[in-house]
Amino acid sequence: MNAMQNAWQQSGGVVRFHRDERGAMLDYVLVLGVFVPLMFFVFIKLFEVLSDYFGMIAFYVSWPFL
């Protein structure tokens, strides 16, 4: 048995990261219930800002030809 296998067995392996199953469910609920709607709102606003920016650039480029 090498040192890595010995350390893995003493630490409990993957089991130590999954002690509370309800805590993991709460993480998923927080991500889906809070983070995703906020990111959706940010993406909508970002699209509006970028479309306005594109409109300004198009105007600045084309104004001599109007």
**Does any domain span residue 6?**
no
Indicate whether 12 pLDDT > 90.
no
**Does any domain span residue 24?**
yes
pLDDT, position 17 = 55
Confidence (pTM):
0.51
Q: Are 18 and 24 in contact (CB under 8 A)?
A: yes
Indicate whether 14 pLDDT > 80.
no
pLDDT, position 5 = 67
Give the integer Cα–Cα distance in Å for 39 and 64.
39
pLDDT, position 60 = 92
**Does any domain span residue 9?**
no
**Does any domain span residue 1?**
no
The tally of domains found in the chain comes to 1
Q: 26: domain range?
A: 17-65
**Does any domain span residue 56?**
yes
The per-residue pLDDT for range 18-53, each reduced to its tens digit, is 556 666 777 788 888 888 899 999 999 999 999 999
